């Protein structure tokens, strides 16, 4: 059955996430904490599966990329060298009537006026002043705003600072994971038997003081990034940039995202050192928005860290004895945004007999639960015992779930909603023949299969 446009509206996805334990608003029993979310029992499985797929594609299957897990806290000098202390900001305005704090570039964009987050404060204020009559505060509808100001997104902390005025010398929670990669570049080079070109990949938390955080987990103040920096010879950077563009596009197709819901967005307003920057955008329920950024960054990052640390980070190529500062191709994706894209893509409502079933058509390797095992009846000990034995075998290989609650139809619906690709029912025939019914999520087809063949069958499907 065809899925209608409204089927995967954000509201429905948010409701499913809450109802089935994928995502909870942070600190809910204390009335919540803005722009932070927690992943529940099924959410953590899905997020882990996304990270596993990324790690497999970016590290395991490549002999030119190695992994890293650097700390969230780093020397504050790193954030000066990277330019974040001075330049990592969004334009902020305040509604004079209701005092809502708003992102000026987003307000312009929502009014259909082109603005780029990389524009300077002056540039954006000129556009804002020209168009202010067309712009309305989303809370109270007023068009009376304060002039735009740059607001720094770095989150400060007082870690290790025991003076009373620690704000003068703050430490920071990292604003992006890749700085940990740059500052470990030499350690990896000296220890991991790599030579240029090679990449370093890492998955980890990042923190930003986002001004407006709407659209569920799309923009949050604490989030996880999956970043890879690929170090190249300067003359080869663009060649590898093109290769990584292809690889990253194909990654999303491999996750089960359809090409019609993906598009490239080229950044016209580049920072001075960048050669090229593209985003891969996904058609979220609220429109095409950035899923991942790919940047040809030149040698800016290593040059800055060389300057600020006083350590020479240039590379001596053993093949021709040439010394140069490596250039960088960056691929930078968010776990939360991939999670939301995968859920938006997978969410379907379909007629099933008299009812409508909600089904998450997730790629099996992403599904939180791979297989559910049911005894036909809860009050027949011999069925429960046999179903438990099947479950105990399968759980050694797969994230499995045992469910004996309610009628079989209801149990199927529960598993469909969380995207479980296979359900197995143990019935009276199973006691005689040692076989079970296996039901496939998308087609709802059922067939009999011998218990001894279950692991082999699932291994070919998942």
What is the contact mask toward ligand GAP in residues 79 to 108, using x (rule: CB under 6 A)?
------------------------------
Q: Which residue's CB comes closest to ligand GAP?
A: 334
Distance between CA atoms of residues 232 and 326, nearest Å: 5
| HEC secondary structure over 221-250 | CEEEEEEEEEEECHHHHHHHHHHHHHHHHH
Kindly identify the residues of this chain, within the stretch 325-354, that bind ligand GAP according to CB under 6 A. 330, 332-334, 336-337
Kindly identify the residues of this chain, within the stretch 263-302, that bind ligand GAP according to CB under 6 A. 290-293
Nearer to ligand GAP, 42 or 182 (CB): 182
| Cα separation values, 116 from 73, 295, 383, 444, 462, Å | 30, 16, 62, 47, 42
Smallest distance from ligand GAP to CB 265, Å = 11
Nearer to ligand GAP, 225 or 304 (CB): 225
SS3 label, residue 395: coil
| Cα separation values, 340 from 16, 208, 450, Å | 12, 19, 37
SS3 label, residue 343: helix
Token pair of 203, please?
């998955």
252 makes contact with ligand GAP (CB under 6 A): no
What is the contact mask toward ligand GAP in residues 151 to 190, using x (rule: CB under 6 A)?
-------------------------x-x------------
Closest by alpha carbon to 365, among 57, 59, 40, 69? 57
SS3 label, residue 63: coil
Smallest distance from ligand GAP to CB 177, Å = 7
Nearer to ligand GAP, 204 or 421 (CB): 204
Nearer to ligand GAP, 48 or 215 (CB): 215
Cβ 419 vs Cβ 361: under 8 Å:
yes
Exposure of 35 in the CB half-sphere (CA atoms within 13 A): 13
Nearer to ligand GAP, 49 or 225 (CB): 225
**Beta strand residue intervals within 44-167, DSSP E:** 65-68, 89-94, 101-103, 149-152, 155-157
Instruction: State which of residues 20, 84, 174, 208 lies at the interface with ligand GAP (CB under 6 A).
Output: 208
How many residues sit in the footprint of ligand GAP (CB under 6 A)?
Answer: 19
Kindly identify the residues of this chain, within the stretch 219-248, that bind ligand GAP according to CB under 6 A. 219-220, 223, 225, 227
Residues in contact with ligand GAP by the rule CB under 6 A: 176, 178, 208, 210, 219-220, 223, 225, 227, 290-293, 330, 332-334, 336-337
């Amino acid at each position: 059955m065809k899925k209608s446009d409204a089927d995967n509206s954000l509201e429905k996805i948010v409701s499913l996430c809450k109802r089935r334990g994928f995502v909870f608003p942070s600190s809910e029993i204390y009335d919540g904490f803005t722009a932070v979310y927690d992943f529940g029992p099924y959410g953590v499985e899905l997020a882990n599966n996304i990270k596993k797929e990324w790690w497999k594609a970016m590290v395991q299957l490549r002999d030119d990329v190695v992994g890293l897990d650097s700390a969230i806290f780093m020397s504050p000098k790193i954030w000066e060298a990277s330019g974040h202390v001075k330049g990592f900001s969004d334009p902020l305005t305040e509604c004079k009537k209701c005092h809502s704090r708003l992102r000026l570039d987003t307000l312009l964009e929502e009014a259909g006026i082109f603005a780029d987050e990389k524009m300077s404060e002056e540039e954006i204020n000129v556009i804002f002043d020209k168009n202010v009559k067309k712009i309305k505060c989303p809370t109270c509808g007023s068009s009376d705003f304060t002039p735009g100001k740059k607001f720094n997104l770095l989150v400060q902390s007082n870690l290790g600072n025991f003076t009373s005025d620690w704000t003068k010398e703050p430490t920071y929670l990292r604003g992006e994971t890749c700085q940990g990669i740059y500052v470990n570049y030499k350690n990896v080079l000296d220890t991991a038997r790599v030579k240029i070109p090679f990449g370093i990949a890492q998955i980890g938390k990042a923190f930003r003081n986002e001004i407006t955080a709407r659209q569920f987990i799309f923009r949050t103040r604490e989030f996880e990034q999956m970043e890879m920096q690929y170090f190249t010879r300067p003359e080869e950077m663009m060649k590898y940039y093109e290769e990584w563009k292809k690889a990253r596009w194909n990654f999303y197709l491999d996750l089960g995202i359809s090409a019609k819901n993906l598009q490239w967005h080229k950044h016209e307003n580049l920072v001075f050192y960048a050669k090229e920057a593209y985003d891969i955008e996904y058609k979220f329920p609220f429109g095409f928005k950035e899923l991942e950024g790919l940047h040809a960054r030149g040698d800016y990052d290593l040059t800055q860290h060389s300057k600020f640390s006083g350590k020479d980070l240039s590379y001596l190529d053993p093949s021709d004895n040439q010394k140069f500062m490596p250039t960088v191709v960056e691929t930078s994706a968010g776990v939360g945004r991939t999670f939301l894209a995968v859920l938006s893509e997978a969410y379907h409502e379909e007629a099933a007999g008299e009812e409508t079933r909600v089904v998450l058509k997730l790629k099996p390797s992403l599904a939180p639960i791979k297989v559910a095992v049911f005894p036909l009846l809860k009050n027949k000990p011999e069925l429960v015992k046999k179903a438990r034995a099947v479950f105990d075998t399968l759980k050694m290989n797969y994230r499995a779930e045992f469910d004996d609650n309610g009628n079989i139809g209801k149990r199927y619906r529960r598993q469909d909603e969380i995207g479980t690709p296979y359900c197995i029912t143990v019935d009276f025939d199973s006691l005689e023949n040692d076989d079970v019914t296996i039901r496939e999520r998308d087609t709802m087809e059922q067939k009999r299969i011998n218990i001894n063949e279950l692991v082999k069958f699932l291994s070919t499907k998942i």
